[in-house]
Amino acid sequence: MMRTILYAIGGLYVLTAIYMFLAPQSFYDLTPGVAMMGPFNLHFIRDAGLAFLVSGGALVWGAAKQDRTALVLGALWPCLHAAFHIWIWFGRGLPVDEVALVNLFGIQLPAWMAMVAARRIKLAAKS
């Protein structure tokens, strides 16, 4: 079960990275809350896309190779990103709106689920 979660979240992050890198304006325009953070910045969106690519790749690699270090490191940036978004949400006055729901389901749950799965996955004994 944990491996499936890690593959799914890793795949989500890789797909997010591809979207951010290949269609940054669309990502900016269509993702609730992104435009609230300031004007469109191609460089920043693609940099964040590359961070998602590395995290997603590490989660998929770690799940396939049974490498807990890769799994934890793959989950680390998304968890830091999620923590930053909690801080932003507090700064917005804790509204329950579309931005908060996208944050919850698109950022918070995948990040923290990946870290929990990375820590709990049962790895085969190495010979």
The pair of structure tokens assigned to 26 is 């669309």
The pair of structure tokens assigned to 33 is 């809350």
The pair of structure tokens assigned to 58 is 């590490």
pLDDT values of the chain reduced to their tens digit, one per residue, 127 residues:
999 999 999 999 999 999 999 999 999 999 999 999 999 999 999 999 999 999 999 999 999 999 999 999 999 999 999 999 999 999 999 999 999 999 999 999 999 999 999 999 998 776 5
Residues 50, 17: Cα–Cα separation, whole Å: 6
Report the residue count for the chain: 127
Q: What is the pLDDT of residue 127?
A: 56
Alpha helices in the chain (DSSP H): 2-22, 24-30, 42-65, 68-91, 98-103, 109-120
User: What pTM did the predictor assign?
Assistant: 0.92
Residues 3, 113: Cα–Cα separation, whole Å: 11
Which amino acid makes up residue 76?
L
Got the DSSP string for 93-108? Answer: T---SHHHHHHIIIII
How far from the centroid of its chain's Cα atoms is residue 55's Cα? 7
Q: What is the pLDDT of residue 123?
A: 86
